[in-house]
Amino acid sequence: MFVALLIFLATLVCVIWRPRNLGIGWIAMAGMVLALAAGVVSLDDVPRVWAIVWDATFTLVALILISLILDAAGFFEWAALHVARWGGGSGPRLFVLIILLGAVMAAFFANDGAVLILTPLVLEMLHALKFERRAALAFMLAVGFTVDATSLPLMISNLTNILTANYFHIAFTDYARVMVAVNFAALATTLVVLWLYFRKAIPPRFDVSALDSPRDAIRDPFVFYAGWAVLALLLAGYFLAHPLGVPVSAVAGGAALLLVLATGREHFPRRQSKAVIPLKTLLHEAPWQVVWFSLGMYLVVFGLHNHGVTALLGALLETYAQTGAWLGTLLAGTTFAALSALMNNLPTVMLDNLAIEHAQLAPQLHELFVYANVVGTGIGPKMTPLGSLATLLWLHVLEGRGMKVTWGEYLRTGMALTLPVLVVTLSALTGWLWLLGG
Protein backbone atom coordinates (compact mmCIF):
# COMPACT_ATOMS: atom_id res chain seq x y z
CA MET A 1 0.00 0.00 0.00
CA PHE A 2 2.86 2.39 0.84
CA VAL A 3 4.46 1.98 -2.61
CA ALA A 4 1.11 2.42 -4.37
CA LEU A 5 0.39 5.58 -2.36
CA LEU A 6 3.88 6.97 -3.01
CA ILE A 7 3.54 6.46 -6.79
CA PHE A 8 0.09 8.05 -6.74
CA LEU A 9 1.25 11.12 -4.79
CA ALA A 10 4.34 11.57 -7.00
CA THR A 11 2.20 11.35 -10.15
CA LEU A 12 -0.39 13.76 -8.75
CA VAL A 13 2.22 16.35 -7.73
CA CYS A 14 3.82 16.22 -11.18
CA VAL A 15 0.41 16.55 -12.89
CA ILE A 16 -0.33 19.69 -10.85
CA TRP A 17 3.09 21.34 -11.17
CA ARG A 18 3.91 20.01 -14.67
CA PRO A 19 7.73 20.05 -14.61
CA ARG A 20 9.18 21.45 -17.84
CA ASN A 21 5.62 22.03 -19.07
CA LEU A 22 5.09 18.34 -19.78
CA GLY A 23 1.56 17.38 -20.81
CA ILE A 24 -0.58 15.85 -18.07
CA GLY A 25 -1.11 12.80 -20.27
CA TRP A 26 2.59 12.00 -20.55
CA ILE A 27 3.05 12.50 -16.79
CA ALA A 28 0.17 10.15 -16.01
CA MET A 29 1.51 7.56 -18.46
CA ALA A 30 4.91 7.77 -16.74
CA GLY A 31 3.14 7.10 -13.44
CA MET A 32 1.43 4.10 -15.03
CA VAL A 33 4.75 2.70 -16.26
CA LEU A 34 6.20 3.14 -12.78
CA ALA A 35 3.19 1.39 -11.22
CA LEU A 36 3.56 -1.52 -13.66
CA ALA A 37 7.29 -1.77 -13.01
CA ALA A 38 6.75 -1.76 -9.23
CA GLY A 39 4.10 -4.47 -9.46
CA VAL A 40 1.42 -2.18 -8.02
CA VAL A 41 -0.76 -2.98 -11.04
CA SER A 42 -0.53 -5.66 -13.72
CA LEU A 43 -1.01 -5.64 -17.47
CA ASP A 44 -4.35 -7.37 -16.89
CA ASP A 45 -5.55 -4.21 -15.13
CA VAL A 46 -5.00 -2.04 -18.23
CA PRO A 47 -8.05 -3.25 -20.23
CA ARG A 48 -10.17 -3.21 -17.03
CA VAL A 49 -9.37 0.44 -16.39
CA TRP A 50 -9.74 1.42 -20.04
CA ALA A 51 -13.19 -0.16 -20.09
CA ILE A 52 -14.16 2.17 -17.22
CA VAL A 53 -12.76 5.44 -18.57
CA TRP A 54 -12.84 5.39 -22.38
CA ASP A 55 -16.43 6.58 -22.86
CA ALA A 56 -16.12 9.46 -20.40
CA THR A 57 -12.74 10.47 -21.80
CA PHE A 58 -13.80 10.71 -25.44
CA THR A 59 -17.05 12.43 -24.45
CA LEU A 60 -15.08 15.19 -22.74
CA VAL A 61 -12.73 15.57 -25.71
CA ALA A 62 -15.71 15.84 -28.09
CA LEU A 63 -17.52 18.39 -25.91
CA ILE A 64 -14.47 20.62 -25.60
CA LEU A 65 -13.91 20.40 -29.37
CA ILE A 66 -17.54 21.45 -29.89
CA SER A 67 -16.99 24.34 -27.47
CA LEU A 68 -13.82 25.47 -29.25
CA ILE A 69 -15.50 25.45 -32.67
CA LEU A 70 -18.58 27.33 -31.44
CA ASP A 71 -16.36 29.81 -29.62
CA ALA A 72 -14.34 30.44 -32.79
CA ALA A 73 -17.62 31.06 -34.64
CA GLY A 74 -18.57 33.69 -32.05
CA PHE A 75 -21.39 31.66 -30.47
CA PHE A 76 -20.45 32.23 -26.83
CA GLU A 77 -19.37 35.85 -27.26
CA TRP A 78 -22.74 36.53 -28.88
CA ALA A 79 -24.49 34.91 -25.90
CA ALA A 80 -22.32 36.72 -23.33
CA LEU A 81 -22.95 40.11 -24.94
CA HIS A 82 -26.69 39.50 -24.94
CA VAL A 83 -26.51 38.52 -21.26
CA ALA A 84 -24.51 41.67 -20.47
CA ARG A 85 -27.07 43.85 -22.24
CA TRP A 86 -29.85 42.17 -20.29
CA GLY A 87 -28.04 43.52 -17.24
CA GLY A 88 -29.35 46.95 -18.24
CA GLY A 89 -26.44 48.79 -16.64
CA SER A 90 -26.97 47.19 -13.21
CA GLY A 91 -23.81 45.61 -11.74
CA PRO A 92 -25.68 43.26 -9.37
CA ARG A 93 -27.98 42.08 -12.17
CA LEU A 94 -24.97 41.46 -14.43
CA PHE A 95 -23.34 39.45 -11.64
CA VAL A 96 -26.38 37.18 -11.33
CA LEU A 97 -26.74 36.78 -15.10
CA ILE A 98 -23.07 35.80 -15.52
CA ILE A 99 -23.53 33.14 -12.83
CA LEU A 100 -26.60 31.80 -14.65
CA LEU A 101 -24.71 31.78 -17.97
CA GLY A 102 -21.90 29.81 -16.32
CA ALA A 103 -24.41 27.27 -14.99
CA VAL A 104 -26.01 26.79 -18.42
CA MET A 105 -22.64 26.41 -20.13
CA ALA A 106 -21.42 23.92 -17.53
CA ALA A 107 -24.60 21.87 -17.94
CA PHE A 108 -24.31 21.47 -21.71
CA PHE A 109 -20.59 21.87 -22.45
CA ALA A 110 -19.06 20.36 -19.27
CA ASN A 111 -17.29 22.34 -16.59
CA ASP A 112 -13.91 22.14 -18.33
CA GLY A 113 -15.30 23.41 -21.63
CA ALA A 114 -17.26 26.16 -19.85
CA VAL A 115 -14.27 27.45 -17.90
CA LEU A 116 -12.02 27.48 -20.97
CA ILE A 117 -14.50 29.55 -22.97
CA LEU A 118 -16.24 31.71 -20.38
CA THR A 119 -13.19 32.85 -18.40
CA PRO A 120 -11.50 34.87 -21.18
CA LEU A 121 -14.86 36.12 -22.51
CA VAL A 122 -15.99 37.55 -19.17
CA LEU A 123 -12.55 38.95 -18.42
CA GLU A 124 -12.48 40.82 -21.75
CA MET A 125 -15.99 42.12 -21.07
CA LEU A 126 -14.95 43.41 -17.64
CA HIS A 127 -11.93 45.16 -19.15
CA ALA A 128 -14.20 46.81 -21.72
CA LEU A 129 -16.45 47.99 -18.90
CA LYS A 130 -13.37 49.30 -17.01
CA PHE A 131 -14.09 47.34 -13.83
CA GLU A 132 -11.36 47.67 -11.19
CA ARG A 133 -9.42 44.57 -10.10
CA ARG A 134 -11.51 43.99 -6.95
CA ALA A 135 -14.73 43.89 -8.96
CA ALA A 136 -13.19 41.87 -11.80
CA LEU A 137 -11.81 39.34 -9.30
CA ALA A 138 -15.28 38.93 -7.77
CA PHE A 139 -16.78 38.16 -11.18
CA MET A 140 -13.97 35.78 -12.13
CA LEU A 141 -14.10 33.89 -8.84
CA ALA A 142 -17.85 33.60 -9.31
CA VAL A 143 -17.34 32.15 -12.81
CA GLY A 144 -14.70 29.69 -11.60
CA PHE A 145 -16.87 28.54 -8.70
CA THR A 146 -20.11 28.28 -10.66
CA VAL A 147 -18.89 26.07 -13.51
CA ASP A 148 -17.88 23.35 -11.03
CA ALA A 149 -20.58 23.78 -8.36
CA THR A 150 -23.40 23.62 -10.93
CA SER A 151 -21.90 20.89 -13.13
CA LEU A 152 -24.29 18.27 -11.72
CA PRO A 153 -27.50 18.18 -13.82
CA LEU A 154 -26.55 15.99 -16.79
CA MET A 155 -24.19 13.08 -17.26
CA ILE A 156 -22.08 15.15 -19.64
CA SER A 157 -21.80 18.19 -17.36
CA ASN A 158 -18.67 16.87 -15.66
CA LEU A 159 -16.21 14.08 -16.39
CA THR A 160 -16.82 12.74 -12.86
CA ASN A 161 -20.56 12.49 -13.64
CA ILE A 162 -19.90 10.36 -16.73
CA LEU A 163 -17.46 8.10 -14.90
CA THR A 164 -19.90 7.49 -12.05
CA ALA A 165 -22.98 7.03 -14.24
CA ASN A 166 -21.15 4.62 -16.55
CA TYR A 167 -19.63 2.69 -13.65
CA PHE A 168 -23.03 2.06 -12.07
CA HIS A 169 -24.90 1.73 -15.42
CA ILE A 170 -27.15 4.76 -14.88
CA ALA A 171 -29.01 5.87 -18.01
CA PHE A 172 -28.86 9.51 -19.11
CA THR A 173 -32.59 9.97 -18.41
CA ASP A 174 -32.42 8.32 -14.97
CA TYR A 175 -29.44 10.44 -14.03
CA ALA A 176 -31.16 13.66 -15.12
CA ARG A 177 -34.34 12.69 -13.25
CA VAL A 178 -32.37 12.84 -10.01
CA MET A 179 -29.72 15.45 -10.57
CA VAL A 180 -31.51 18.24 -12.47
CA ALA A 181 -33.56 19.05 -9.38
CA VAL A 182 -30.53 18.70 -7.10
CA ASN A 183 -28.57 21.06 -9.36
CA PHE A 184 -31.27 23.72 -8.93
CA ALA A 185 -30.61 23.55 -5.19
CA ALA A 186 -26.87 23.88 -5.84
CA LEU A 187 -27.44 26.83 -8.19
CA ALA A 188 -29.77 28.65 -5.78
CA THR A 189 -27.32 28.23 -2.91
CA THR A 190 -24.42 29.26 -5.14
CA LEU A 191 -26.23 32.47 -6.08
CA VAL A 192 -26.88 33.29 -2.41
CA VAL A 193 -23.37 32.59 -1.10
CA LEU A 194 -21.65 34.34 -4.02
CA TRP A 195 -23.85 37.41 -3.57
CA LEU A 196 -23.29 37.55 0.20
CA TYR A 197 -19.54 37.11 -0.21
CA PHE A 198 -18.94 39.54 -3.11
CA ARG A 199 -21.79 42.07 -2.87
CA LYS A 200 -19.53 44.88 -1.60
CA ALA A 201 -17.10 44.43 -4.51
CA ILE A 202 -19.74 44.62 -7.26
CA PRO A 203 -20.14 48.10 -8.80
CA PRO A 204 -23.73 49.38 -8.75
CA ARG A 205 -23.73 50.54 -12.40
CA PHE A 206 -21.88 50.02 -15.66
CA ASP A 207 -21.99 51.65 -19.09
CA VAL A 208 -23.87 49.42 -21.53
CA SER A 209 -22.65 51.50 -24.48
CA ALA A 210 -19.10 50.23 -23.86
CA LEU A 211 -20.21 46.76 -25.04
CA ASP A 212 -19.95 45.62 -28.64
CA SER A 213 -23.04 44.60 -30.58
CA PRO A 214 -23.83 40.86 -30.27
CA ARG A 215 -24.32 40.67 -34.04
CA ASP A 216 -20.72 41.79 -34.58
CA ALA A 217 -19.48 38.86 -32.48
CA ILE A 218 -20.59 36.30 -35.08
CA ARG A 219 -17.46 35.47 -37.06
CA ASP A 220 -18.75 32.48 -39.05
CA PRO A 221 -22.53 32.70 -39.61
CA PHE A 222 -22.71 29.26 -41.25
CA VAL A 223 -21.16 27.49 -38.24
CA PHE A 224 -23.04 29.76 -35.82
CA TYR A 225 -26.46 28.73 -37.15
CA ALA A 226 -25.39 25.13 -37.78
CA GLY A 227 -24.38 25.03 -34.11
CA TRP A 228 -27.97 25.51 -32.96
CA ALA A 229 -29.12 22.53 -35.01
CA VAL A 230 -26.21 20.37 -33.85
CA LEU A 231 -26.87 21.22 -30.19
CA ALA A 232 -30.54 20.24 -30.57
CA LEU A 233 -29.52 16.92 -32.14
CA LEU A 234 -26.92 16.42 -29.42
CA LEU A 235 -29.45 16.82 -26.60
CA ALA A 236 -31.94 14.48 -28.28
CA GLY A 237 -29.16 11.96 -28.86
CA TYR A 238 -28.26 11.89 -25.18
CA PHE A 239 -31.76 10.79 -24.21
CA LEU A 240 -31.91 8.17 -26.97
CA ALA A 241 -28.41 6.77 -26.46
CA HIS A 242 -29.04 4.40 -23.54
CA PRO A 243 -32.23 2.75 -24.90
CA LEU A 244 -30.44 2.17 -28.20
CA GLY A 245 -27.27 0.89 -26.53
CA VAL A 246 -25.17 3.72 -27.96
CA PRO A 247 -22.30 5.11 -25.81
CA VAL A 248 -22.52 8.79 -24.88
CA SER A 249 -19.15 9.42 -26.53
CA ALA A 250 -20.60 8.32 -29.89
CA VAL A 251 -23.35 10.94 -29.59
CA ALA A 252 -20.93 13.71 -28.59
CA GLY A 253 -18.40 12.55 -31.18
CA GLY A 254 -21.04 12.58 -33.92
CA ALA A 255 -22.02 16.15 -33.01
CA ALA A 256 -18.37 17.20 -33.01
CA LEU A 257 -17.88 15.62 -36.43
CA LEU A 258 -20.83 17.56 -37.86
CA LEU A 259 -19.33 20.83 -36.62
CA VAL A 260 -15.90 19.86 -37.95
CA LEU A 261 -17.46 19.26 -41.38
CA ALA A 262 -19.29 22.60 -41.20
CA THR A 263 -16.06 24.34 -40.18
CA GLY A 264 -14.01 22.75 -42.95
CA ARG A 265 -16.64 23.17 -45.65
CA GLU A 266 -14.17 24.95 -47.95
CA HIS A 267 -12.78 21.50 -48.76
CA PHE A 268 -16.08 20.49 -50.34
CA PRO A 269 -16.79 21.37 -54.00
CA ARG A 270 -20.25 22.81 -53.24
CA ARG A 271 -19.39 24.80 -50.17
CA GLN A 272 -22.05 27.20 -48.91
CA SER A 273 -19.73 30.05 -47.93
CA LYS A 274 -16.09 30.75 -47.24
CA ALA A 275 -14.78 29.09 -44.07
CA VAL A 276 -13.14 31.45 -41.58
CA ILE A 277 -12.33 29.18 -38.64
CA PRO A 278 -8.79 27.69 -38.48
CA LEU A 279 -9.84 24.05 -38.22
CA LYS A 280 -6.33 22.59 -37.99
CA THR A 281 -5.52 24.89 -35.08
CA LEU A 282 -8.70 23.93 -33.22
CA LEU A 283 -8.08 20.21 -33.74
CA HIS A 284 -4.58 20.71 -32.38
CA GLU A 285 -6.00 22.54 -29.33
CA ALA A 286 -8.47 19.76 -28.48
CA PRO A 287 -7.52 18.11 -25.16
CA TRP A 288 -6.02 14.91 -26.55
CA GLN A 289 -3.77 14.72 -23.49
CA VAL A 290 -6.88 13.86 -21.46
CA VAL A 291 -7.01 10.47 -23.21
CA TRP A 292 -3.58 9.47 -21.95
CA PHE A 293 -4.23 11.13 -18.60
CA SER A 294 -7.38 9.05 -18.06
CA LEU A 295 -5.69 5.74 -18.79
CA GLY A 296 -2.47 6.52 -16.92
CA MET A 297 -3.88 8.28 -13.86
CA TYR A 298 -6.72 5.87 -13.31
CA LEU A 299 -4.39 2.90 -13.61
CA VAL A 300 -2.23 4.49 -10.89
CA VAL A 301 -5.40 4.90 -8.79
CA PHE A 302 -6.30 1.28 -9.49
CA GLY A 303 -3.05 0.39 -7.74
CA LEU A 304 -4.46 1.94 -4.55
CA HIS A 305 -7.55 -0.23 -5.02
CA ASN A 306 -5.44 -3.36 -5.46
CA HIS A 307 -3.68 -2.69 -2.18
CA GLY A 308 -6.60 -2.08 0.12
CA VAL A 309 -7.33 1.66 0.05
CA THR A 310 -10.84 1.25 -1.38
CA ALA A 311 -11.58 -1.50 1.14
CA LEU A 312 -10.75 0.92 3.96
CA LEU A 313 -12.90 3.63 2.40
CA GLY A 314 -15.71 1.11 1.87
CA ALA A 315 -15.60 0.17 5.56
CA LEU A 316 -15.86 3.87 6.44
CA LEU A 317 -18.94 4.18 4.22
CA GLU A 318 -20.52 1.23 6.01
CA THR A 319 -20.00 3.09 9.29
CA TYR A 320 -21.64 6.19 7.83
CA ALA A 321 -24.61 4.10 6.69
CA GLN A 322 -25.39 3.23 10.30
CA THR A 323 -26.13 6.90 11.10
CA GLY A 324 -29.19 7.11 8.82
CA ALA A 325 -29.95 8.44 5.34
CA TRP A 326 -29.44 12.18 5.82
CA LEU A 327 -26.42 12.14 8.13
CA GLY A 328 -24.84 9.19 6.33
CA THR A 329 -25.16 10.96 2.97
CA LEU A 330 -23.80 14.17 4.47
CA LEU A 331 -20.79 12.35 5.94
CA ALA A 332 -20.13 10.39 2.73
CA GLY A 333 -20.50 13.45 0.51
CA THR A 334 -18.20 15.61 2.65
CA THR A 335 -15.62 12.79 2.74
CA PHE A 336 -15.72 12.56 -1.07
CA ALA A 337 -15.46 16.35 -1.22
CA ALA A 338 -12.46 16.50 1.13
CA LEU A 339 -10.63 13.79 -0.82
CA SER A 340 -11.34 15.67 -4.07
CA ALA A 341 -10.01 18.92 -2.62
CA LEU A 342 -6.85 17.25 -1.35
CA MET A 343 -5.99 14.94 -4.24
CA ASN A 344 -8.06 16.19 -7.22
CA ASN A 345 -11.54 14.96 -8.10
CA LEU A 346 -10.61 12.84 -11.13
CA PRO A 347 -8.62 10.19 -9.26
CA THR A 348 -10.97 10.56 -6.28
CA VAL A 349 -14.11 9.66 -8.22
CA MET A 350 -12.68 6.30 -9.22
CA LEU A 351 -11.61 5.49 -5.66
CA ASP A 352 -15.06 6.46 -4.43
CA ASN A 353 -16.86 4.35 -7.03
CA LEU A 354 -14.75 1.31 -6.23
CA ALA A 355 -15.31 1.86 -2.49
CA ILE A 356 -19.10 2.21 -2.91
CA GLU A 357 -19.16 -1.02 -4.91
CA HIS A 358 -17.05 -2.74 -2.24
CA ALA A 359 -19.18 -1.56 0.70
CA GLN A 360 -22.13 -3.58 1.99
CA LEU A 361 -24.96 -1.04 1.75
CA ALA A 362 -28.74 -1.17 1.66
CA PRO A 363 -30.13 -0.33 -1.81
CA GLN A 364 -31.43 3.11 -0.74
CA LEU A 365 -28.10 4.10 0.83
CA HIS A 366 -26.18 2.68 -2.10
CA GLU A 367 -28.08 4.99 -4.47
CA LEU A 368 -27.67 7.95 -2.12
CA PHE A 369 -23.91 7.40 -1.82
CA VAL A 370 -23.53 7.04 -5.61
CA TYR A 371 -25.12 10.45 -6.17
CA ALA A 372 -23.37 11.90 -3.11
CA ASN A 373 -20.15 10.99 -4.91
CA VAL A 374 -21.30 13.07 -7.90
CA VAL A 375 -22.07 16.01 -5.59
CA GLY A 376 -18.92 15.67 -3.50
CA THR A 377 -16.55 15.38 -6.46
CA GLY A 378 -18.38 18.18 -8.29
CA ILE A 379 -18.59 20.80 -5.52
CA GLY A 380 -15.89 19.71 -3.05
CA PRO A 381 -12.91 20.45 -5.34
CA LYS A 382 -13.63 24.17 -5.08
CA MET A 383 -12.10 24.22 -1.60
CA THR A 384 -8.55 24.15 -3.01
CA PRO A 385 -6.86 25.23 -6.27
CA LEU A 386 -5.80 21.66 -7.06
CA GLY A 387 -9.24 20.13 -6.57
CA SER A 388 -10.33 19.99 -10.21
CA LEU A 389 -8.92 20.25 -13.71
CA ALA A 390 -11.38 23.10 -14.36
CA THR A 391 -9.88 25.17 -11.53
CA LEU A 392 -6.33 24.56 -12.75
CA LEU A 393 -7.40 25.60 -16.26
CA TRP A 394 -9.15 28.68 -14.82
CA LEU A 395 -6.02 29.77 -12.93
CA HIS A 396 -3.88 29.19 -16.03
CA VAL A 397 -6.18 31.26 -18.28
CA LEU A 398 -6.34 34.13 -15.78
CA GLU A 399 -2.57 34.22 -15.27
CA GLY A 400 -2.04 34.21 -19.02
CA ARG A 401 -4.23 37.31 -19.27
CA GLY A 402 -2.55 39.25 -16.49
CA MET A 403 -4.79 38.44 -13.49
CA LYS A 404 -2.90 36.32 -10.99
CA VAL A 405 -4.96 34.76 -8.19
CA THR A 406 -2.75 33.62 -5.30
CA TRP A 407 -3.38 30.30 -3.58
CA GLY A 408 -4.04 32.21 -0.36
CA GLU A 409 -6.77 34.29 -2.02
CA TYR A 410 -8.29 31.18 -3.53
CA LEU A 411 -8.22 29.09 -0.33
CA ARG A 412 -9.93 31.80 1.72
CA THR A 413 -12.66 32.16 -0.84
CA GLY A 414 -12.98 28.47 -1.71
CA MET A 415 -13.47 27.28 1.85
CA ALA A 416 -16.02 29.99 2.64
CA LEU A 417 -18.11 29.36 -0.47
CA THR A 418 -17.92 25.58 -0.82
CA LEU A 419 -19.07 24.26 2.54
CA PRO A 420 -22.58 25.83 2.63
CA VAL A 421 -23.27 24.89 -1.00
CA LEU A 422 -22.09 21.34 -0.35
CA VAL A 423 -24.22 20.84 2.77
CA VAL A 424 -27.39 22.28 1.20
CA THR A 425 -26.95 20.27 -2.02
CA LEU A 426 -26.36 16.98 -0.19
CA SER A 427 -29.42 17.66 1.97
CA ALA A 428 -31.45 18.41 -1.16
CA LEU A 429 -30.23 15.15 -2.70
CA THR A 430 -31.43 13.17 0.31
CA GLY A 431 -34.83 14.86 0.31
CA TRP A 432 -35.33 14.56 -3.46
CA LEU A 433 -34.48 10.85 -3.56
CA TRP A 434 -36.82 10.31 -0.62
CA LEU A 435 -39.62 12.04 -2.57
CA LEU A 436 -38.85 10.01 -5.70
CA GLY A 437 -38.80 6.82 -3.68
CA GLY A 438 -42.06 7.72 -1.97
User: Any idea which of 9-13, 323-327, 430-434 has the lowest mean pLDDT?
Assistant: 9-13
Average pLDDT over residues 262-266: 79
Residue 242 has pLDDT above 90, yes or no: no
pLDDT tens string 54-73: 898 899 889 989 998 999 99
User: What average pLDDT does the chain have?
Assistant: 90
Give the integer Cα–Cα distance in Å for 249 and 208: 41
Residue 234 has pLDDT above 90, yes or no: yes
pLDDT given at position 274? 61
How does residue 272 score in pLDDT terms, banded at 50, 70 and 90?
Answer: low
Q: Which residue has the higher pLDDT, 274 or 343?
A: 343
pLDDT tens string 284-342: 777 788 788 888 888 888 888 888 889 999 999 999 999 999 999 999 999 999 999 98
DSSP 287: -
Residue 25 has pLDDT above 60, yes or no: yes
CA atoms within 13 A on the CB side of 91: 19
User: Any idea which of 77-91, 272-286, 338-352, 354-368 has the lowest mean pLDDT?
Assistant: 272-286
Q: What is the DSSP string of 329-375?
A: HHHHHHHHHHHHHHH-HHHHHHHHHHHHHHS---HHHHHHHHHHHHH
pLDDT tens string 141-165: 999 999 999 999 999 999 999 999 9
How does residue 189 score in pLDDT terms, banded at 50, 70 and 90?
Answer: very high
Torsion of CA 374, 379, 383, 387, to 10 degrees: 50
pLDDT given at position 273? 55
Give the integer Cα–Cα distance in Å for 153 and 106: 9
DSSP 91: H
pLDDT given at position 352? 95
pLDDT given at position 292? 84
How does residue 395 score in pLDDT terms, banded at 50, 70 and 90?
Answer: confident
Give the integer Cα–Cα distance in Å for 163 and 141: 27
Predicted model pTM? 0.89
How does residue 268 score in pLDDT terms, banded at 50, 70 and 90?
Answer: low
pLDDT given at position 105? 95
How does residue 266 score in pLDDT terms, banded at 50, 70 and 90?
Answer: low
pLDDT tens string 208-218: 988 889 999 99
How does residue 269 score in pLDDT terms, banded at 50, 70 and 90?
Answer: low
pLDDT given at position 33? 93
pLDDT tens string 122-148: 999 999 899 999 999 999 999 999 999
How does residue 375 score in pLDDT terms, banded at 50, 70 and 90?
Answer: very high
Q: What are phi and psi of 437, to 5 degrees?
A: -70, -30
Average pLDDT over residues 107-118: 91
Give the integer Cα–Cα distance in Å for 9 and 172: 33
| N residues, the chain | 438
pLDDT given at position 432? 96
Give the integer Cα–Cα distance in Å for 271 and 53: 38
Residue 265 has pLDDT above 90, yes or no: no
Calculate the alpha carbon distances from 186 to 97, 278, 427 in Å. Answer: 16, 38, 10
Residue 271 has pLDDT above 70, yes or no: no
Q: Which of 316, 345, 366, 364 is nearest to 422 (CA)?
A: 345
